[in-house]
A and B are shown apart, each in its own frame.
Chain A
Amino acid sequence: MRLINIKPGPALAAFLTLLPFALAFVAYAIGSEIRLAENPSDKLLPAPGTVGDTMLRLTTEGDRRTGRILFWHDTWASLQRLGLGIGISATLGLIFGLLIGLLPLVRSALAQFVAVLSMIPPLALLPILFIVFGLGELSKVVLIVVGTLPFIIRDLSQRTLEIPQELLVKAQTLGASSWVIATRVALPQVMPRLIQAVRLSLGPAWLFLIAAEAIASDLGLGYRIFLVRRYLAMDVILTYVIWITVLAFAMDWLLRWASRRFYPWAEDGL
């Protein structure tokens, strides 16, 4: 039997899914064990148990000076920035994507401009953003928007252009105005694609968020990681990294669920 025709059963599939996670954990545990055996006060690879204790301490105990549990404040601050940035990007991306995709006049005016803009490395703009928007929340949100907006606009305008011409002509023969075609025909058809684009943008968005927080901030997940780096507090860093991964994965899962829940017709394909 050919290799491409061998499919795992449900049990084997579940085992294979969990296998790399287990292997990664075991590899880490062994590495940590070896280093700690040599030097019990080694900080590079803390034992899984130590990381677990740190996790518990970070999520339940307040800061000694203020009594606030910084972990949750960091999370809230970062999620706010991320949500605001991605939300603004998605909204603007949807509007401009539809305009560029539907209206030849706007396409002629903006398509090339957006294509050029999307080539600017957003992190190179970070100093400008700090100078123009200050070191507060605004510059961080703007960095996320600058980093993700061009991609979303380009993706959505392309998806809008891919709507079969037949559907647009059909809508016109039913008397639809440009406005109605945009809101009743094009908008619902690109909404699942918008969710898709946002899912793909989440990775870059986290990258820009953490970069901005690392450079200038006093709260946030990225800020904390770069702060405790000075003390080689690997257990704290690992806790935050795991938490960021969990958050990112949860967001991705939520968006996928929303796409299936609200746009069931898109999953079937046509």
Chain B
Amino acid sequence: MSYVTVSDVFQTYDGRPILERVSVDVDEGEFIAIVGASGCGKSTFLRLLLAQERPTRGTVSIAGAPPATEPGLDRGIVFQRYSVFPHMTVRDNIVAGESLRSTWGRFFGEKSRAARTRADETLARIGLDHVADNYPATLSGGMQQRLAIGQALAAKPRVLLLDEPFGALDPGTRLSMHDFLQDLRAETGMTVFMVTHDLEEAFKLGDRVLVFDKPRWDPHDPARYGATITYDFDARDGGIPFQNLKENTHVLQAH
């Protein structure tokens, strides 16, 4: 039984097909990277997973639950921008990951102190404890995205969705964010979907790489047909999952 089941999904905007016949099964704990040209429905697919939109046809279901009608606690999201609340301090942003679901959206008294302590632990783990009382606007792009991921994980979602999370970062920061994400994943075993433009990033981080493309193309009407998953690569071990057996040569190796 797969964890995330997308079956025969079509999505149409104003009669224009964006996605057609998208079906994919994902196991719990898999890291799915999604690549494709611009306008090929990657972000639409992510919005469907998020339940921000409902598909014209077909269903998306997580952990056997009935298809969701609106975004909820079981799906966490990190966008390229605007992923943290600018009016809350860094610590409050992490606390918000737990407190927004309560009636008043905040904790009081003992509960609040406990949540702040937990938030400080999270901040220490993601390396933001020295800016806990700052507002996000004073943070660099990489720090803001680390905070956004930490905030999403504080809510303990079943599935984490990343929409080009590192698209606006410089190459060095991007590499350290890869390490950060891989560490977090090893720790939590979370199921992750990540949309990216960077093929290298997709194969480095993903267990599977899904390619969205239009299999049918009408040169007179490029918007006639929608996109679907055209390739589903097994990307473990840098895209060569089965060629990982080293020959044991019994020859002394110089060090």
Residues of A bordering B, CB below 8 Å: 164, 166-167, 169-177, 179-180, 183-185, 188-189, 263-266, 268-270
From known contacts A175-B101, A176-B100, A184-B105, infer whether A167 and B85 are also in contact, taking CB-CB under 8 Å.
Answer: yes
- Give every chain A residue within 8 A of B52 (Cβ-Cβ): 169
Q: Which residue of A has the minimal Cβ distance to B86?
A: A270
Q: Which 6 A-B pairs have the closest CB atoms?
A: A175-B101, A180-B105, A184-B105, A166-B82, A164-B82, A172-B71
Q: Which residue of A has the minimal Cβ distance to B76?
A: A173
Name B105's contact: one of A172, A183, A263, A265 (CB within 8 Å): A183
Residue B106 interfacial (CB < 8 Å): yes
- Give every chain B residue within 8 A of A177 (Cβ-Cβ): 103
Residue B56 interfacial (CB < 8 Å): no
- Give every chain A residue within 8 A of B86 (Cβ-Cβ): 189, 265-266, 270
Name A268's contact: one of B85, B104, B106, B137 (CB within 8 Å): B137
**A173:B105 contact, CB within 8 angstroms:** no
- Give every chain B residue within 8 A of A171 (Cβ-Cβ): 85, 100
**A166:B71 contact, CB within 8 angstroms:** no
**B105:A176 contact, CB within 8 angstroms:** yes
Could you show 10 A-B contacts with beta carbons less than 8 Å apart?
Answer: A164-B81, A169-B79, A171-B85, A172-B71, A174-B96, A175-B72, A180-B102, A180-B103, A268-B137, A270-B82
Residue B155 interfacial (CB < 8 Å): yes
- Give every chain A residue within 8 A of B97 (Cβ-Cβ): 174
A174 to B72, CA, bound (A): 7
Residue B77 interfacial (CB < 8 Å): yes
Residue B83 interfacial (CB < 8 Å): yes
**A174:B135 contact, CB within 8 angstroms:** no
- Give every chain A residue within 8 A of B70 (Cβ-Cβ): 172
**A264:B73 contact, CB within 8 angstroms:** no
Name B50's contact: one of A173, A183, A263 (CB within 8 Å): A173
Q: Which residue of B has the minimal Cβ distance to A269?
A: B137
- Give every chain A residue within 8 A of B87 (Cβ-Cβ): 188-189, 263, 265-266
Q: Which residue of A has the minimal Cβ distance to B101?
A: A175
A169 to B70, CA, bound (A): 9
**B96:A184 contact, CB within 8 angstroms:** yes
Best-buried of A166, A174, A269, A270 by chain B (most CB within 10 Å): A174
**A173:B71 contact, CB within 8 angstroms:** yes
Name A174's contact: one of B101, B106, B137, B138 (CB within 8 Å): B101
Residue B226 interfacial (CB < 8 Å): no
A177 to B97, CA, bound (A): 13
**A270:B137 contact, CB within 8 angstroms:** yes
Q: Which residue of B has the minimal Cβ distance to A265?
A: B135
A120 to B186, CA, bound (A): 63
**B105:A170 contact, CB within 8 angstroms:** no
For the complex formed, measure the closest distance between the CB of B25 and the CB atoms of chain A, giving whole angstroms.
Answer: 23
